[in-house]
Structures are given as C-alpha cells and as structure tokens.
C-alpha cells in the first residue's frame, strides 16, 4: 500500500519562525514514518514523532501564554485530543501492521495537523502580528 507524501508547504506558515520550523519537523517525521518499510526503524520514528509532538505543543502553548492569547484554554484542549490520539496509537502500535500505523499517522498529520495549522493556529497568528 502506498500513502501520499506528507509535506509542509509555505501555505502552512504561521509567521513564527520557531513554530514553523517545528511544524516542518513534524511533517518530516511523519513522512519518514509513513514511507519506511522497516518495522523497527518506523517504530523508532513513531516514538520520535510522539515525543516531538509533546515538545511542539508545549512550546506553542508557552508562546500563546506569553502573548496573552485569550483562546489558549480551548486551543490546549484541541492539543490534548491530539496528544491522546497519538499516545493511543503509540500504545497500540505493537499489535498493528505498518500499513495501519502509517494510515493513522497520515490521518493525524496530513488531515488533523494540517487543518489545525490552517484554521486554529492561524487564529493566534493574528495576535503574533500585533
């Protein structure tokens, strides 16, 4: 089974260089995981992705706190949902095939994260500009 490559594009830039770099790294890790046919290496990449999501959300939430973003609580809740889904995937991955894991990563990064950046992160980008 093949999956479309997950790529960050400039259309996803929100204007904070550090956050944009982190978003790029998340897409890169996901693309690496999805395209890897080696189970051990793919699982290692999934672990790296899971850890990096934690780092990224923590940094982003810290930034939103610093700029006094009024929707921080709601934004955090969305991150919580994603953190929970990824943690569940990581916990269940041992009993899944590589294709199943890759499909879930694709859903999480290609669909969820892309939408999140384009819609929800874009909302706080307006505050960054102020």
- Shortest Å, Cβ 96 to Fe ion: 26
56 vs 53: CA distance, rounded Å: 5
Question: Which residue ranges make up the site for Fe ion (CB under 5 A)?
Answer: 121
Closer to Fe ion at the Cβ: 16 or 121? 121
Min CB(92)–Fe ion separation in Å: 24
Interatomic CA distance for residues 61 and 21, integer angstroms: 16
> Measured between alpha carbons, how far is 22 from 2 in angstroms, rounded to an integer?
26
Residue closest to Fe ion (Cβ): 121
Nearer to Fe ion, 104 or 121 (CB): 121
Name, in order, each residue with C-beta under 8 angstroms of 14's C-beta and a sequence gap of 6 or more.
Answer: 20, 23, 117, 121, 122, 124, 125, 128
User: Between 46 and 117, whose beta carbon lies closer to Fe ion?
Assistant: 117
Q: Which of residues 3 and 127 has its CB atom nearest to Fe ion in the complex?
A: 127
- Find the shortest distance in angstroms from Cβ 37 to Fe ion: 31
Q: Which tokens go with 37?
A: 């046919």
DSSP designation for 2: -
CB of 99 to Fe ion, least distance (A): 28
């Amino acid at each position: 089974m093949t999956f479309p490559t997950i790529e960050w594009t400039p259309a996803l830039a929100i204007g904070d260089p550090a956050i944009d770099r982190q978003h790029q790294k998340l897409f890169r890790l996901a693309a690496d995981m999805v395209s890897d046919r080696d189970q051990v290496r793919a699982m290692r990449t999934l672990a790296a992705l899971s850890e990096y999501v934690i780092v990224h959300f923590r940094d982003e939430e810290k930034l939103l706190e610093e700029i006094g973003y009024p929707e921080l609580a709601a934004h955090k809740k969305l991150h919580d949902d994603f953190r929970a889904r990824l943690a569940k995937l990581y916990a269940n991955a041992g009993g899944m095939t590589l294709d199943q894991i890759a499909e879930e990563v694709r859903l999480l990064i290609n669909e969820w994260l892309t939408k999140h950046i384009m819609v929800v992160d874009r909302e706080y980008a307006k505050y960054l500009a102020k």
